[in-house]
Amino acid sequence: MKNLLLMLIALAVTSVHSYSQDCSKYYPLQEGSRLEYTNYDKKDKPDGTVTYEVISSENTSDGTTALMQMSLRDQDGEEVMQSEYEIRCKDDIVQIDFKSLMNQQMMEQFKEMEVELSGTDIELPNNLSVGQSLDDADLNMKMNMGAMNMNMNVQTINRKVEKKETVTTPAGTFDCFVIYSETKTKMMMANQTFPSRTWFAEGVGMIKQESYNKKGNTIGKMELTAYSN
C-alpha cells in the first residue's frame, strides 16, 4: 500500500484521459468518461485497481472545469479510498489543483488536527515534443498536532518529455509520449525521492505509469485496463 500511495502521488501529476479536443488532449473533461487501471507490485503481481470518472463538467469563458472522482480498490475489490478533485483547462494548458487531491478519506487520518494546505498547480500542455521541459509543482501541509507541529512537503521535479514509444496494455496498443519526473517527499527528518515515468497517448490519455527506487528498479506500476468516453 505504501508503494501504491507513492504511485498515486505520481499519478496526480500525470494521469488520465482526453476528451474535449478543443481544450484538453490528455485529461478528462467530458462528463461520464471513465478509466480503470490495474496496480502491480514490485513483483509484477496485481495489487488492486484505481478507477477515475468525470462526474461533472462545465464550460465557461475561462475554459473548462471537470470534477474527477477517484476510487481505489484492493485485491479483493473492496473500496479503500475515494476522493474528488478538479481539473481545469484554459489556453491549451491543463491544470490540476494538487491541494484538492488531499481530501475526504485521504484527509481522514488528519481529522483531529488543524491542517493548512498550500501549493502549486500541476500543468500539462496539449502540445508535447521530445526534449520538452515541464514546470515543477509542489504541495505543502502544515499539521497542528496539539503538543507539536508537523510539516510535509511533496515536490514534483525534473519533469521532461523523454521520448516516444509504442506500448501495449490490456486496453490495447498505443503510440505514446513518455514523461519522466521525480517525486520528492519531506516529512520531519525523512527525505525521499522516487523517479517515475508515464506513458500518454493522444486521444486516450495515460496508458501506463511506473515508479522506481534509487537503483532504478521498478517498485510498482499501473496499466490501463479499460476506458470509455
**In the prediction, which pLDDT does 112 show?**
66
Grouped pLDDT means (10 residues each) for the chain, 229 residues = 50 43 75 93 93 92 89 90 86 80 53 77 92 93 80 90 98 96 86 92 90 92 92
Q: Report the pLDDT value the prediction gives residue 209, as an integer from 0 to 100.
A: 94
Q: Into how many domains does the chain fold?
A: 1
- Structural domain including 64 reads 2-228
Look up the pTM and report it: 0.80
Of the candidates 144, 132, 150, which has an alpha carbon nearest to the alpha carbon of residue 188? 150
Residue 86, pLDDT score: 87
Q: What's the CATH code of the domain at 99?
A: 2.40.360.20
The C-alpha atoms of residue 17 and residue 34 are separated, in whole angstroms, by: 8
The pLDDT score that the predictor gives to residue 107 is 53
By C-alpha distance, which of 76, 98, 78, 77 is closest to 87? 98
Q: Residue 183's beta-bridge partner residues?
A: 156, 194
**How far apart are alpha carbons 194 and 216 in whole angstroms?**
9
pLDDT at 179: 97
Cβ contact 84:70 at 8 Å:
yes
